[in-house]
Structure 1
Amino acid sequence: MNIMTNEERLCSPLCFLRLLSWLSPNFPNGAYSYSHGLEWAAEAGHVYDRSSLVDWLEADLCYGSGRNEAVFFTEAYRCAINDDRANLMRVAEVAGASRGTPEFALESSQQATACLNTLRKVWPDPILDFFGEIQVQPVLAVVLGARTAVEGIPAGVALPAFLHSYVANLVIAGVRLIPLGQTDGQLAIAELEHAVLSASAQGACATLDNLGSAGFMVELASIAHETQYTRLFRS
């Protein structure tokens, strides 16, 4: 008889297929319509080629909002594993209140709401009903952190995959805005691999007490984008 170990169960092909679906560009959460301030950065000339795009996104990932999203994902994952709904609500509240601008608040709540609705219809789980019951705007990192935990996807796989999806979506925006060729876009994603792994390693050891950002330029870019005359993206 072939008996699977706990680790093998955690790493089952079905889990990985679901993770791929939830983080796919085809997943209907509207991520393609947001640039996280990148559109203004390109308009202002701060991001103008592959190198400057990688620099901008690496800074955001390791020192800005991407870093905090890793913390929220990790904390939600821990709460779901421990079935700690009280702390999960606290994480959801802090994450919802952490959006620095109206555009970032819209970007966060719209994607998370769409993600939550689709997950509840296609891959239902009681943890998703919890987010529907609390009076807090959902945040994508919290929803996916909790859902991947109850799915049994290892945190060491789920968090880097989430951050990779986060940054890859912004690279796609950069390809359209600068513009860049598709090959340059893939080169940018490859150059950001170490930043993704570094941010994941830091996020895996972090708690809400470690929240903080030095990515002020991203916040300023979002504020400026609100009044930008010509826009392709909603943030």
Structure 2
Amino acid sequence: MTALQTNSLLRLLQLASPSLPVGAYTYSQGLESAIENGAVTNENSARLWITESLRIVADFEAPILWRLLKALSKRDLEMIEYWTEYFIASRDTAEFRAETIQMGYSLGKLVIDLNIADESLSTFLTNQTEIPLPTAFACAAEALAIPHSEALLGMLFSMVENQVLVCVKSIPLGQMAGQKLLLSLHDAIEAAASHARQLEDDELSNWAPGLSLLSMQHEVQYSRIYRS
């Protein structure tokens, strides 16, 4: 591994780290409702849930991140704004919209505060009134010079790891079961990334009515730990 590859790997690990101060640990992305409703109760049902969540992300959020990465590398502001607005408009519950805007804001602010972005990228981030997580993540990856394919895998892994942590804390699963679960999902993460890179614009879909209903139920759930 060259020094450049080592540097890129270390930057990717930092960007995908659960310690990144963007508030990811406060969200379950509908999983808390699934646990409350008895749909997710053990390691096997957790694996099914996360695998299906990956499929949804691979059909929409991940290919949008892929397009944002490409647009940012060219500083194509028209396409960046198009996919940013497209993604925000796709959030079909109040919680899902608030989640991506809050995390996007926090990550964008982190990029600026760390002083890792060039002038054009900093100006773009500063001028956004609302920035969703995929756009902020793509900006961070661009600022850190992380290759696009690795950045896509990093985003997917971060999402899956957060879901596993929710399962460990809320089902609950033991720490060893959680690590086994995370390890078993590596192939699914790679497949999701490959699928996302191949989709054409008219093939993108965020059709997931069951997840939307769970999110709506979570908004009025009496007892909850997570914000989504």
Task: Identify the TM-score tier after normalising by the shorter chain.
Answer: over 0.9
Q: What is the count of residue pairs matched by the alignment?
A: 226
Deviation of 1:174 (Å): 1.2
**2:121 aligned partner, one-letter code:** I
Alignment partners' CA distance in 2, 1:230 and 1:147:
35
Deviation of 1:191 (Å): 1.6
Tell me, which stretches of 5 or more residues in structure 1 are unaligned? 1-6
- Which residue of 87, 92, 100 maps to 2:84? 92
Match for residue 204 of structure 1? 197
CA RMSD of aligned residues (A): 1.8
Deviation string for 1:176-232 (max 9, x for gaps)?
110000111111111211111111001112344322034322211111101111101
Match for residue 124 of structure 2? 130
Match for residue 72 of structure 1? 64
- Whether 1:111 and 2:103 are equivalent positions in the alignment is yes
Match for residue 4 of structure 1? none
- Which residue of 4, 9, 23 maps to 1:16? 9
Match for residue 170 of structure 2? 177
Change (3 A) 1:186 1:51: same
Deviation of 1:47 (Å): 0.2
CA contact (8 A) 1:73 1:159 kept: yes
User: 1:155-174 counterparts in 2 under 5 A?
Assistant: 155-174=148-167
**2:49 aligned partner, one-letter code:** W
CA contact (8 A) 2:95 2:219 kept: yes
Alignment partners' CA distance in 2, 1:174 and 1:66:
21
Change (3 A) 1:130 1:8: farther
CA contact (8 A) 1:76 1:91 kept: yes
Identity of aligned residues (%): 30
Deviation of 1:59 (Å): 0.6
Change (3 A) 1:127 1:210: farther
User: 1:217-232 counterparts in 2 under 5 A?
Assistant: 217-232=210-225
- Choose 84-93 or 119-128, whichever is displaced more: 119-128
Alignment partners' CA distance in 1, 2:41 and 2:32:
11
Provide TM-score, normalisation by structure 1: 0.90
**1:230 aligned partner, one-letter code:** S
Deviation of 1:14 (Å): 2.2
Match for residue 83 of structure 1? 75
- Which residue of 19, 25, 29 maps to 1:36? 29
Change (3 A) 1:180 1:199: same
Provide TM-score, normalisation by structure 2: 0.92
Deviation string for 1:94-122 (max 9, x for gaps)?
11111111000111111111111111111
